[in-house]
Amino acid sequence: MTQLDVLYRYGAPPTEAATLAIAKIREVYGVRRIELREAEKTVRIEYDATRLTEPVIHQLLRRAGLDIVETMPMFAPPLPEPEPAAAV
């Protein structure tokens, strides 16, 4: 089993029907966990990559009625190293 996470940012808050449909995604074989953060407008899905792919997860959320705006990086990119100070 290969576990992967994907993080999406959504636009419009999910309706009650969409929230119920998102909860049912947990029943899909291979989906391990769903975390919906309304304050950050993100949804994080942990899934088994030997059973599902990221485009399938994306499609499941869209069909549930979630307005996905973009796929977010799971980790922040490293900060660039500061340039050495020029000798004066």
Q: What mean pLDDT, rounded, does the chain reach?
A: 91
Q: Can you say whether residue 43 is alpha, beta or left, with left for phi > 0 and alpha for psi between -120 and 50 degrees?
A: beta
Domains of the chain with bracketed CATH: 3-72 (3.30.70.100)
**pLDDT tens profile 29-46:** 999 999 999 999 999 999
pTM to 2 decimal places: 0.80
Question: Are 71 and 8 contacting, i.e. CB atoms less than 8 angstroms apart?
Answer: yes
